Chains A and B, each alone.
Chain A
Amino acid sequence: MEGNIEILNLNMKPGNTLKVKGKISADTVGFSINLGSSSRDLAFHFNPRFNESVIVCNSKHSDSWQTELRVRHLPFFRGCTVKFFIEMLSDKFRVKLPDGHEVCFPNRHGYHNISYVSIVGGLKIISFKLT
């Protein structure tokens, strides 16, 4: 039951927070939440990997991945229901993890508006909310 949802016309702006709640598959190697303007242009790729115990963050420009940021902090598990709060600021994205820890990633390409979100891999979406 690997998810691969795409959301279009979201209209997320600096100051907005996207709240994503989902259930992590019991047998997945990982999943990603991607924010940008299309699958080829991502301001923020947030990719927890269970097989490496790491969260990989990156951006994608014209279908080319940029420099990875690796965070060795994975405070959730396969089979769990989790909530992520992804805050967009003018200069960065800030993700609040389930244990309260925060991951920040720069808004490298100066996005003012996130219209596209995809959720790929072993996270089955229960809800999403934009505030």
Chain B
Amino acid sequence: MVLAGAISCRRLALRHSVPGEGLGAAPPAGTGACSMEKGLVVTQLDVEPGECIKVKGKIQSDAKGFAVNVGKDSNTLMLHFNPRFDCHGDVNTIVCNSKEDGVWGEEDRKAEFPFQHGDKIEICISFDQTEATVKLPEAEFKFPNRLGMEKIEYLAVEGDFKVKAIKFS
């Protein structure tokens, strides 16, 4: 696991997107006040472009951060979507990233932060050839499909988020 602080903070200039576009993910923290506990992992999925993964759950009342990862496996991520309440020096920031062969890409940070401690939320993730989209009730974020992935086989949730249900549609 890479430490967030070690990651490049260069932002990607994402175009079209709602305020708070772009999903960035930050590497799960390995140390410090914000270590991300491994949560639910789903493997051998077959989610195709246009289909949607809905993750429903609750943000813990003392959450420092959580992440939803989708991709091929833990070392090959199309999207690491990592809302940070107070993590690695970030306060109320979403960090998005990709990972290829176990190496993080460039972080993408979002200005918008539509999360609150204790919230019950539903995160909807879909993708196409060019980008992944994360939909929340009040916001939408996009992040480029840097690896050109054609299906999602792996889903993992980490950190201070309790998963209640997962739906594929």
Contact = CB atoms under 8 A, between A and B. Distances in A.
Secondary structure at the B interface, as helix, strand, loop or mixed, is strand
A4 B46 CA distance: 9
Contact of B42 (A1, A6, A130, A131): A6
A3 B46 CA distance: 8
Chain A: interface size category:
10 to 19
A126 B167 contact: yes
B41 A8 contact: yes
Interface of B: 38-46, 56, 163-169
Given A127-B165, A127-B168, A129-B164, A4 B44 contact: yes
Contacts of B168: 125-127
A26 interface: no
Contact of B41 (A7, A126, A131): A7
Secondary structure at the A interface, as helix, strand, loop or mixed, is strand
Contacts of B41: 7-9
Contacts of A8: 40-43
B169 A9 contact: no
Given A5-B44, A8-B43, 12 more contacts: A1-B46, A3-B44, A3-B46, A5-B43, A6-B43, A8-B40, A9-B38, A9-B40, A126-B167, A128-B165, A129-B166, A130-B163
Interface in A1-40: 1, 3-10
